[in-house]
Structure 1
């Protein structure tokens, strides 16, 4: 795939107040990530924060708006507080749209957290509650393909989930695992790339969510305090963004 890459960001949730004030929607959060990843690749003649990407955002929850497939090269599904296994009308519409993307061979699709789970559901894999919450910066063990794509032996990413994708289709390569989640990412060359973690999150974004969920009683004191101990740790979000962009550029 050659730039300019026409990237459609499907916003599956609305950020909390501080994050929304800085970035707008989650499309803005991902735009910042992709720009950082493009610059880190150091290929200014091909792609950078100033060149090679045309990003649009689509509210698939409230407006249920989608791009026409002929107008995009890449579809990205963001995270969400919703459950990917629920049958809300907007979720069913999203799953159907993803199935349409998977049925063709030109457009590539990226899924992050909830987006990763929606991809799993669209490919016929079980998505359901896992053994518990995985939050803050966590270490991910990488498969051989994961090490190749991310160019790292292990990955540290922000997490914010308790649902997981159980297993993987036979024609899909798994990218990694953790003690809490056996499927941390999926890959099909020239077609699909997903991660369960949140490469787009930053310390302030993760902290705002953890504080809100602790205040709502979703996280007990022990879970919240454990997460806050690691929220400032190094994370590899830009490395994942680089891998996403290399995936989009590969033949």
Structure 2
């Protein structure tokens, strides 16, 4: 006789993930959209997905354009009507979610580009056990603005406002790009380096080579996404669940 503990374990069903692409008027957008099943202009129906990812964008997260305010409203609607829904914010998504919950965004003194070492907090070491010993994550970065501090009801999992987790265990945000490999990180290299740092490959070969090397450095993107997949299957803490009756 086979007892329940000895029966083969079935694999969990595949996750249903919606990725919101927020780039505006970018020549790279068709290439990015081609990697997904894209519905232009539509917000995902939260009930149909296990995870909603609010991705990066090439606009200022402090702006109040109509499409940005619609995204703000979508975030608030998800939190209010689907309090247990898992949401991940990446780069612009990290900044936008932080803004919705009251945090400030400022220009950086020096923009970040390429793989950067991020120091985890104690909570971050617990959340990312593969990095508990070193206390460091390495992620691709590509941004010139940053969040000044974690918004209310969010805990910093890394120093420098790099990673936040809300106290309901449903919203996780990254300033960096765990989804980017070196090839993807190079897409905007030629466009952004001159206006961010004041040089290009022709003007300063050594500086360009250093930046190229930094982009090509090994990173923890795959491990981070593995942890995100685990986290999506974890329960919320029920802090905002509707009361019975």
Classify the TM-score, shorter chain.
0.7 to 0.9
CA distance in 2, matches of 1:13, 1:158: 18
Q: 2:111, 2:196 within 8 Å by CA — same for their partners in 1?
A: no
The equivalent position to 1:108 in structure 2, one of 72, 86, 89, is 86
Q: Give the Å deviation of 1:139.
A: 0.6
Structure-2 residue corresponding to 1:205: 184
Structure-1 residue corresponding to 2:23: 13
The one-character-per-residue Cα deviations of 1:112-157 (angstroms, maximum 9, x if unpaired) are 0000011101111112222220110111001112122222020111
Q: 2:140, 2:178 within 8 Å by CA — same for their partners in 1?
A: yes
Q: TM-score, normalised by structure 2?
A: 0.77
Q: 1:16, 1:208 within 8 Å by CA — same for their partners in 2?
A: no
CA distance in 2, matches of 1:235, 1:58: 31
**CA-based RMSD:** 2.3
SS, match of residue 128 in structure 1? strand
Structure 1 position 133 matched with structure 2 position 111: yes
Q: Which runs of 4+ in 1 moved over 3 A?
A: 14-17, 56-59, 222-226
Q: 1:16, 1:209 within 8 Å by CA — same for their partners in 2?
A: no
Structure 2: which 5+ runs fail to align? 1-11, 236-245
Structure-2 residue corresponding to 1:237: 221
SS, match of residue 223 in structure 2? helix
**Higher relative contact order (CA closer than 8 Å, sequence separation 6+):** 1
Q: Give the Å deviation of 1:161.
A: 0.4
CA distance in 2, matches of 1:16, 1:186: 30
CA distance in 2, matches of 1:90, 1:236: 32
SS, match of residue 194 in structure 1? strand
Structure 1: which 5+ runs fail to align? 32-55
CA distance in 1, matches of 2:234, 2:47: 20
Q: TM-score, normalised by structure 1?
A: 0.76
CA distance in 1, matches of 2:219, 2:87: 23
Structure-2 residue corresponding to 1:82: 59
Q: 2:139, 2:220 within 8 Å by CA — same for their partners in 1?
A: yes
Question: Closer, same or farther in 2 for the Cα pair 1:147/1:243, shift >3 Å?
Answer: same
Q: 1:210, 1:224 within 8 Å by CA — same for their partners in 2?
A: no
